[in-house]
Chains A and B, each alone.
Chain A
Amino acid sequence: MSWQPLLAVLLVIAAGYPVALLITRRYLLAGIVAPLVTGVTAALAAIAMLLVGGDLRVWLAALLVAQYAVVAWRLRRPGHPMPHAGWVDVLCIVLPLLPPAALVFSPAVLWDSHSIWWTHAAYFAQGGAFARQDMASLSYNSAHQDYPPLAPATVAGVWRVLPGYSFTVAQFVSATLTVSAIGALGYAVRRVTGRAPLAVSRLAAVVVALAAWGTAPYGVAGGYTDQLWAAAAVAGAALLLLGERPLAGPALPVLLLAVAALTKNEAVLPVLVVAALATLRGWRDLRRAWPVWLAPLAGVGWVLLARALGATSDVTVNTGLGGTGRIAGDKAVLDRVPAALHSLWSMVGLLVVAAVAVALLGWAGLRRERRALRLGSDLWLWAVAVPYAASLVFIYATSTTVDLRWYLSTSADRVTVPIELLAILSVACWAVAMVVRLRGAAPAPDAAADADADADADEAPEPGAGPDRGGEGVSSRSGWGSPKASAARS
């Protein structure tokens, strides 16, 4: 194997690293988040290229230079290193991901990777005029030209630097983006359970992150994008719907939701729901809620742009939406619902039943521990999962021009990954609450402070940082185990 795949991975990390460092103020965590910054930048560059024309490499360079200028200005100002993100935390989350991610060394031959994502990357790499032509071409309908640009634009950007259209390079770039999102999901869980005992919080993070391989283990490192958007969306949901004061520092969750919305069309609905729920949750401080709407705006914006450029959506074509198709009450549609439900059940049914059972037991006996952990309501997660599951059933049922058995067999294992992640996230939070109860009334006197103890050497420089350096630090001084503090919060 040549050095190109390794160079490609380094390129994807290096390009987004400065902004990731600005967001996280942590050297190692920034390395995890950096590919997602690169991905969003590449997606925006592709959108600019499609709108204005020109070469993707030029747009990408222009956006990166603009970013670096902002970073150079902002990094001089004090900032808060993200909590629970010391080097031990990051390594605890990332190292367990490497064995399954080693599937990236398998031959780059998976069907959708070639037929959809790397085909898009190929026409993005040819510049704005060529890409617009292929997006509107009937010959390219099998490539689903309306799918969002994040993953293929990143691959195209790397191909413009490392020429040759290597499929192995494309697979490594795709896997880097996905593993980055999964790592961010692990960090999100570590952060929202940060008041729990250290080992328990880290274990919960790893368990949830590993679930991204789920029912479609070939997808993470094989060039697919389902786990990329699923992990990013659920990580964003965890930070916004379960975390403390999520709107106080929304950069990371907004980035994660933007990654989801710009990766696949079916992410737009859950991203919209998360943004709405986050706004509802933070209704006391609505002025801070607007950034979370940037992500669904980006997703809807892409849908409109793709339509304007002549790309067709398989969903609307298959249903006749926009034509003369009749959906409600159509017998052909209703007849497909049981098969769709059965397929979803076979993928995630038992897991969801277990998660609901644990949630009901937790609601009955662990609410106080959950409050003490400052975890948001579990219902938020189900409020994201249920509409998404309903949208899947709707799409399968209404795509009457497609053979349902083939449709389900080629996609159900991948599109159910977000439900799986939301379910295991719910279980993990209740299990953490249970462990806290088993440990008794006084958890670690300052769990978050312990968690950050290993982190100091990993913090980015912050000139002028005040005495409250150490992140949001809500937990590190609250001493939630003290009876007085506990009573005050109750």
Chain B
Amino acid sequence: MKSTSGPGATRWYPSAGSGRQRLLAGLLTVLVLVGALFAVYRADAGAVKAAGLAARLILRPAHDADQRAEQRQFDLVRDELAAQVPPDHAIYLDHLDDPSGLWTQRLIEFAAMARLALVGDPGQADYAVTLVPDQSAPQGLRLLARKLR
């Protein structure tokens, strides 16, 4: 291992080869490499974790069964909204039991996909939209739209 990098090198340690100088150069090398390895460990752990999750996803698809059911439920409600309410009408979210806000936000999204306006006042709405229990649906929910005017 060489401790210099070229003619005319100027460093914080002398460039000649005494034991103390070699020690300092070696210490610098070790510290930089240890610091770099630690930084790489901290920075790249997320990619390793993501690769592990992806492998589990492909090798054991059942592991994500709940999330797949959730996406199918999203697909179902999106399609039902588009099927039950014609485009360019206003909808009102009626009696939505939704403490987490999940379905309120999903219906906001699906309303845009169905080209519907969302209003907070039922007096301005053409349809009232709600979710009702239905055990045949992926997560037990089905959309119901009721014409108001």
Interface string of A344-365 (1 = CB under 8 A from B): 0000001100110110011011
With a CB–CB cut-off of 8 A, which chain B residues contact A437? Answer: 3-5, 29
Residue from the set A106, A368, A481 with the largest chain B CB neighbour count within 10 Å: A106
With a CB–CB cut-off of 8 A, which chain B residues contact A277? Answer: none
CA distance A218 to B67 in the complex (A): 14
A214 x B112 contact (CB < 8 A): no
CA distance A123 to B11 in the complex (A): 60
With a CB–CB cut-off of 8 A, which chain B residues contact A366? Answer: 28, 32
B112 x A368 contact (CB < 8 A): no
A486 x B8 contact (CB < 8 A): yes
* B-binding segment of A42-50, A59-67, A243-251, A423-431: A423-431
Nearest residue (CB) in A for B74 is A167
B6 x A99 contact (CB < 8 A): no
- Interface size counted on chain A using CB atoms at 8 A: 77
Report if B115 contacts A (CB, 8 A).
Answer: yes
Report if A138 contacts B (CB, 8 A).
Answer: yes
A142 x B105 contact (CB < 8 A): yes
**A123 contact from B35, B70, B112, Cβ within 8 A:** B112
A138 x B120 contact (CB < 8 A): yes
Nearest residue (CB) in A for B102 is A111
Report if B16 contacts A (CB, 8 A).
Answer: no
Report if A118 contacts B (CB, 8 A).
Answer: yes
Report if A420 contacts B (CB, 8 A).
Answer: yes
Nearest residue (CB) in B for A99 is B51
A364 x B12 contact (CB < 8 A): yes
With a CB–CB cut-off of 8 A, which chain B residues contact A441? Answer: 2, 4-7
Nearest residue (CB) in B for A426 is B39
A99 x B2 contact (CB < 8 A): no
Report if A122 contacts B (CB, 8 A).
Answer: yes
Report if B42 contacts A (CB, 8 A).
Answer: yes
B75 x A109 contact (CB < 8 A): no
* B-binding segment of A205-213, A252-260, A281-289, A400-408: A205-213
Chain A residues 95-128 with CB under 8 Å of chain B are 99-103, 105-109, 111, 114-115, 118-119, 122-123, 125-126
B40 x A207 contact (CB < 8 A): yes
- Interface size counted on chain B using CB atoms at 8 A: 60
> Taking the nearest CB of chain A, how far is it from the CB of B60, in angstroms?
12
> Taking the nearest CB of chain B, how far is it from the CB of A463, in angstroms?
41
**B28 contact from A130, A365, A442, Cβ within 8 A:** A365
Report if A460 contacts B (CB, 8 A).
Answer: no
With a CB–CB cut-off of 8 A, which chain A residues contact B13? Answer: 365
A102 x B12 contact (CB < 8 A): no
Nearest residue (CB) in B for A117 is B109
Looking at chain B's contact residues, the main secondary structure is: helix
Report if A143 contacts B (CB, 8 A).
Answer: yes
CA distance A215 to B71 in the complex (A): 25
A139 x B11 contact (CB < 8 A): no
CA distance A365 to B28 in the complex (A): 7
Count the A-B residue pairs with Cβ separation under 8 angstroms: how many? 204
> Taking the nearest CB of chain B, how far is it from the CB of A210, in angstroms?
4
- With A100-B50, A100-B51, A167-B75 as known contacts, state yes or no: A211 contacts B6, CB within 8 Å: no
Looking at chain A's contact residues, the main secondary structure is: helix
Nearest residue (CB) in B for A354 is B39
Chain B residues 1-23 with CB under 8 Å of chain A are 1-13
B120 x A430 contact (CB < 8 A): no
B118 x A137 contact (CB < 8 A): yes
**B64 contact from A106, A215, A369, Cβ within 8 A:** A106
- With A99-B55, A167-B74 as known contacts, state yes or no: A139 contacts B120, CB within 8 Å: yes
> Taking the nearest CB of chain B, how far is it from the CB of A195, in angstroms?
13
Report if A217 contacts B (CB, 8 A).
Answer: yes
Measured CB to CB, the residues of B under 8 A from A are 1-13, 25, 28-29, 31-33, 35-36, 38-40, 42-44, 46-51, 53-55, 57-58, 64, 67-68, 70-71, 74-75, 78, 101-102, 105-106, 108-110, 112-113, 115, 117-120
Given A123-B112, A207-B44, A427-B35, list of 18 further CB < 8 A pairs?
Answer: A99-B51, A100-B46, A102-B55, A106-B53, A106-B64, A107-B71, A108-B71, A111-B102, A114-B105, A122-B109, A126-B115, A139-B108, A139-B118, A168-B71, A210-B44, A211-B44, A351-B42, A438-B29
The 10 closest A-B pairs by CB, nearest first: A122-B112, A100-B50, A102-B54, A211-B43, A440-B2, A213-B46, A99-B51, A217-B50, A213-B47, A107-B67
